Structure 1
Amino acid sequence: MSDEHQPKPHNAVATRLEYGRHIPHWPDMKLLRAKGQFHELLNRWDMWMSAQHVYAVPTFSADRLSAELHLVVEMEPPVEEWSLILGDVVHNLVSSLDSLAWAICTLDGATPASPNRVYFPADEKESVWKGRVKDLNTMPPEILERIRAIQPWTLPDPRRSVLHIIKALNNEDKHRQLVRLESSVRSVASPKLTDGTWTDFLITPSTDDQSLTTGKHLGTIVAAQPFPDDPHFDRLEISPRMKVVVSGLTWELSSLLHLAVELVRDCISWVQAGETRPPLLLNVELANVPGDPTRVITQNYYIDEQDRERAMNSPADANSSGTP
């Protein structure tokens, strides 16, 4: 290696990096940009949902004790537009980490041997990581060790690492539409009747795929008493959900992006200060609320600093506010 590419010594404060002193504010600015674009995506979703373009139409049995639900989509959702915004979100999340890696590799005027190969790694195999570190040869060893500790290959399933997910989404954005919408019979709201009462019913979901297509069979609803002849039953509200598929795993989009933004922020803080290793995303899944098939909860799991699996957040009602 030539002298100009030899790693230069770093002073002691490099173990705790500060914005404006050791590294520029660019990583934080990129992260804030990603967060703003995420909220833009949610706002676009809420605007489309508020227009009630999607609902279910029941076809009642002769005794009105049951009904088959079929989907009606009055206006196609702008999925391509949403996919573009999602692509911007993950691009800025990745850029936030990549710019941090560059800033660290050029501390104190150091010059990486291969500048065009300096980016924040997200490797699924330890063997790949070992080959990658030579491109980060100007990075202080203690900082490099922090990055190693949050690599996807350190998890039981690397596909569930937040670093793997945002890198994979960023690559997939170059090739295809990311967002897909699913309707679910779980999201059928129990209508309030003309006389102010509510009708309880049991829902049996269809085994068909839940893509957003007019005429799609959503499921069957069965009531203990005959359904009243009430205009509130002419159409039933449906709350579709936005999802993405990454490396063969399906994720509920709003929960995934919310966690991704928070965990990338935590990863940056960990690399900068090394005080508390951030949680590494394992799973975002939907589960039925016991006794109420019209509601689901979203539960997130992570690996904590003692390598234990933990539940990350309180269950959220999937029927609240129309959030995707």
Structure 2
Amino acid sequence: MPPLIASDPIIGAKFSRAAKHAIELKDSIAKWVDEETELVIDQSGDLKTASLRLIVSSPPRLPEWSVILGDTVHNLRSALDVWMYKYICSTYSGELHTEDKDVYFPIFKAGKDFRNWKAKTGIYLSDSMTSALLEAQPYRFDIPLAQNAMWLIHQFDIADKHREPLVMNLAAPSGLSPFKIRTYHPDYTENSIRARVASVSITEGGLMVVLESDYPLHNVELSSGLKLVPYFEFEGGNYQLMHTLREFLPGVQNMIRRVETAGTSST
């Protein structure tokens, strides 16, 4: 049997759709930033303080973006579940005595949950495939759940289907990187400046960065190519939007490849 990850058109279409949604989201946010926002620098009278503010001309399309983000994640989670269903159908010759809703790709944070799934669905799989799926579980990795791509996809998918949209905001790059600074004071060094960075409401704008200097800053400009960073908040964590999505798509594809290879190598 050829690997489903490479041969099944439905699974491939779901990955393609997820990638299309991610690109659509990136382009929509970038268009709004270019057309509806402005970054302004203000300086105090003594030139020792400079502030970077975000001015928002019209509100962002947060509900639309949240739906696109949800569609991206849902297609990835769905690709996992479709793979699991099709794998069982193509490898198990007997009759399935479980409901379709119980045939899904297991993503759990505790061993007891995997064992419960195995009692319902794992009985239709070979021992090697069950072992491969066990090794893929988030709780088997030596990283926090909040950093595990598979666990995040699972949780984001649940949140999108059952709760409020994910909260999105913008941030500027930290430290002095957004600025080009010139001063004529002979004792000035980069250590003469303290930078305070604040998250800012994507709908209202506001203060993003404050620079406080021991000496006058005679000219403060924005670095060329400065990009505002979209991020979203989930269960107390902040996730850079495009960085996270870039991890999700290959992460799911590679996980299925590893599981399928390991689960069929000894059968």
User: So what's the TM-score if we normalise by structure 1?
Assistant: 0.66
| Structure 1 gap ranges (5+) | 1-12, 194-199, 276-324
Q: Is residue 272 from structure 1 mapped to residue 260 from structure 2 by the alignment?
A: yes
Q: Do structure 1's residue 104 and structure 2's residue 92 form an aligned pair?
A: no
Residue in structure 1 matched with residue 135 of structure 2 by the alignment: 149
- Aligned pair partner of 1:249 in 226, 237, 244: 237
Superposed CA deviations along residues 153-179 of structure 1, whole A, max 9, x for unmatched, are 112323322211001001111221114
Q: How many angstroms apart in 1 are the aligned matches of 2:53 and 2:234?
A: 29
The answer to whether the 8 Å contact 2:5/2:253 transfers is: no
Tell whether the 8 Å contact from 2:44 to 2:50 is kept in structure 1 after alignment: yes
Matches within 5 A, 1:47-58: 47-51=31-35, 53-58=37-42
- Structure 2 residue aligned with 1:85, among 68, 84, 97? 68
Distance 2:127 2:173 in 1: 53
Partner of 2:213: 222
Long gaps (5+) in structure 2: 183-188
Letter in 1 for 2:73: V
RMSD of aligned residue pairs (Cα, Å)? 3.1
CA contact (8 A) 1:34 1:92 kept: yes
Q: 1:129 aligns with which of 88, 98, 114?
A: 114
Matches within 5 A, 1:1-324: 17-19=2-4, 24-51=8-35, 53-58=37-42, 60-108=43-91, 109-114=93-98, 115-136=100-121, 137-156=123-142, 157-174=144-161, 175-184=163-172, 186=174, 189-190=178-179, 202=193, 204-206=195-197, 209-212=199-202, 213-216=204-207, 218-222=209-213, 224-228=215-219, 239-274=227-262
Relative to its length, the structure with more helix (as a share) is: 2
Q: Deviations over 1:297-322 (max 9, x none)?
A: xxxxxxxxxxxxxxxxxxxxxxxxxx
**Shift in alpha-carbon separation, 1:123–1:222, aligned structure 2, 3 A:** same
Q: Flag the structure with more relative contact order, 1 or 2, with Cα contacts below 8 A and sequence separation at least 6.
A: 2
Number of residues of Structure 1 aligned to a counterpart in Structure 2: 247
Alpha-carbon separation, structure 2, partners of 1:78 and 1:20: 34
1:245-299 deviation digits (Å, cap 9, x = unpaired) = 3443321111111011011010111122229xxxxxxxxxxxxxxxxxxxxxxxx
SS in 2 for 1:204: strand
> Aligned partners of 2:226, 2:5: CA distance in 1, in Å?
49
Q: Which runs of 4+ in 1 moved over 6 A?
A: none
User: Helix, strand or coil for the counterpart of 1:34?
Assistant: helix
What TM-score does the superposition give when structure 2 sets the normalisation length? 0.79
Deviation at 1:148, TM superposition (A): 1.0
Give the % identical residues: 19
Q: Secondary structure at the match of 1:62?
A: coil
